[in-house]
Amino acid sequence: MYHVKDGIFGLAIGDAFGIPTEYNKREDLLEKPVLKMMPRIRDGIPKGAWSADTSLTLATMDAITKSGINYTAMADNFVRWFTANQFCSINESFGIGKTTLKALVRYTQHLEEPYECGLSGIRDNGNGSLARILPIAYYCLVHRLPEKKIVEIVKRTSSITHAHEVSICGCYIYVRYVMNLLRGNNKFSALAQVRSLDYSMFQVETLEVYQRVLYADFMKLSIDDIRTTGYIVDSLEAALWCFLQSSTFKECVIATTNIGGDTNSIGAIAGALAGIFYGYTNIPKEYLENIRKREYLEKMCDDYEFYLRRL
């Protein structure tokens, strides 16, 4: 049985590492790389704090632990994070994206079912749902769910905030990749298995934007080939590139921290992969000591793992 804290601590640490370098220029970071956790002084965010990406991942885990796959419980937790500062690393929520904010406002107005509240425009494909989808991979693997059910859960979970098919497809690719890593596959065979899946449930136009994820040799791509915007496709590519190029957890996180652009979300997405692959015991001790609310994170992981073990 895998350990939930491998992925969750990897995600939180990648998130926290990237906060002070978020949207800094790549060339500046490569010239003077950040090699340790630091505060984001300009916004008063302390060292080791994690953002919305980790908070909403925890909110998803909490909802599943208490109610199973219940999209109302997930959405309610997202609202509690934003309005009541629950699931936070500091005393306030921070890092919410525009798409997530608009979707939660729609939900609080009780206009639709939770998974009908997400925005579905082509410009609404940020990385918000991708950065919080990790708990779904654990759930689907433990339940040994058929492909159709995995697609449904991923679609509805993403669509609480991000309902465009590009976002759903990116989340599905990531969930299936994580599931392969959790089964013990190496990082390259896990990707090969993802690429061999049937994607006929997605439109051709959607699959075209994921051509590099589904076909490119990431080991041959240079850093100049990698874009690091908040667009889900760019974030997934960047996270995979950093993970596949690394040989340790530390290497992966340092890469995401200094790649420029949306470093905390890319760090969260890649950090989860690295945490799962290299394991909690191979996360540097100083990273674990500096992460905010470590005991709280451990309890959330233990509760979710206990829930999964009872299934």
Q: Taking the domains of the chain in order of start, what are their residue ranges?
A: 4-309
Structure-token pair, residue 40: 């984001």
CATH architecture of 4-309: Orthogonal Bundle (1.10)
| pLDDT class of 112 with cuts at 50, 70, 90 | confident
Q: List pLDDT tens digits, range 71-91.
A: 999 999 999 999 999 999 999
2 pLDDT above the threshold of 80: no
272 pLDDT above the threshold of 60: yes
Q: List pLDDT tens digits, range 131-158.
A: 999 999 999 999 999 999 999 999 999 9
C-alpha–C-alpha distance, residues 168 and 69, integer Å? 17
Percent of the chain with pLDDT over 70: 99
C-alpha–C-alpha distance, residues 93 and 81, integer Å? 7
Give percent helix, percent strand, percent coil of the chain, each to the nearest 5: 65, 0, 35
Q: List pLDDT tens digits, range 31-62.
A: 999 999 999 998 999 999 999 999 999 999 99
C-alpha–C-alpha distance, residues 8 and 304, integer Å? 11
1 pLDDT above the threshold of 60: no
